[in-house]
Structure 1
Amino acid sequence: MGAHGMILFGHGARDARWAEPFERLAAKLAAARGDSGPVGLAFLELMTPDLPAAVAAQVAAGCDTITVIPVFFGQGGHVRRDLPQIVAQCETAHPGVRIRCAGAVGEDDAVLDAVVRYCLETGAA
């Protein structure tokens, strides 16, 4: 049985600094997971790696299961339409690998609660 990888999937931007919080999130997730499997980043556009390259890297590292986590606030067209198409391409390219997509992080109540706490703390400062 191979490793279980995780890929944080974001939109991407022209300004490289835009990726900094995603890189910090990936590092925190990797530290929290320990030896459970690799954590990677992938972007829809304007930045690299794209999702097919990130999946290929995790497959090369021995992953047979990969969870893609869209780091989007909502289930817009990129998450509902573009992401499933890209995942289907990845599944075709790696037929022995199970690729699962989580919902957009902003759809989760725990994430929204964390944002509310941040807003309250920021407003109190």
Structure 2
Amino acid sequence: MNEISAQLSGRLGLGRPGLVQLGGRRRPEPPALVVVAHGSRDPRALATVRTLLDRVRALRPGLPVHLGHIELNAPLLTDTLADLDARGTTDAVLVPLLLARGYHVRRDIPEMAAAARVRTRVATPLGPHPLLVETLHTRLVEAGWRTDLTEAERRRSAVVLAAAGSRDPDSAVDTRRTARLLAQRLGVLVVPAYASTAAPAVPEALRTLAARGRDRVAVASCFTAPGRFATECADAAPWIASAPLGTHPAMADLLLHRYDQAREADGRSNAA
């Protein structure tokens, strides 16, 4: 009986809050939100992303939320978009679960979207943004970072912001901006460093800080989920290393914020 009721509610639009107006007229469905993750061979990454999407659904009931990967995991973004088309969905906003601009945001995702029959627009990546910094701060505190440092302790302390790295110079620009925002929040020096491709590497940044007398250095993991890069950077930490950003509530808020921004920008361009 419950299953039949659910099916009937779905057909009538009663199970999708906000789709039925007074007088029985239906409002158009909002564009689907497609969260675009990179993909990872580490099974913890996929589990983390799925839990994060459940948080997003809980925050915005009635919003169709889907997952697509650039590589390594199913469903691939191309398959997600093809499935949306088969279901009759005509409109989607793609939000990269990425923390800075780079090749994936500039090329891979737009090219996959262009091949789809569904109308799409690609939102801004998650960083830099204060909600991202809020998550980084929380993870550091969870790892043991004290928020009541004396002035002398601040001069000895620092944080290495460990990010994936990219050959795209815009990626480094975004990571440096995130580092500055985190430094303002913590009141200590924050140095961006990278797991691959870009310089400085995390161990190099740690050695440089140690040579400058910074003997209380934490590694802030600027990765969305557990994986090889996050593990390698944490292993290099001389003191504490924070956990990946994961399913922090601010991450779900940030995904919806980027979705809303993309919709508003699209509305302005259509009105122009």
TM-score bucket (shorter structure): 0.7 to 0.9
**Deviation, structure 1 residue 61:** 3.5
1:110 equivalenced with 2:168 (yes/no): no
Q: Does 1:82 align with 2:108?
A: yes
| Structure that is richer in strand per residue | 1
Over 6 Å off, 4+ runs = none
Alignment-derived partner of residue 92 in structure 2 = 66
Structure 1: segments with no counterpart, 5+ residues: none
The CA distance in 2 between the partners of 1:48 and 1:11, in whole Å, is 11
**AA partner of residue 144 (structure 2):** G
The normalised TM-score by structure 2 is 0.40
Q: Kindly name which structure, 1 or 2, has the bigger radius of gyration based on alpha carbons.
A: 2
Q: Which has the higher contact order (CA 8 A, sep 6+)?
A: 1
Partner of 1:54: 80
- Comparing 38-47 with 13-22, greater Cα deviation is found at 13-22
Identity %: 29
CA RMSD of aligned residues (A): 2.0
- Specify the alignment match of 2:236 in structure 1: none
**Cross-structure match for 1:13:** 40
Check 1:19–1:52 CA distance in 2 against 1; reply closer, same or farther (3 A cut): same
CA displacement at 1:85 relative to structure 2: 1.1
User: What's the CA shift for 1:2?
Assistant: 4.1
Pick from 107, 122, 127: which aligns with 1:101? 122
Question: How many pairs are equivalent?
Answer: 119
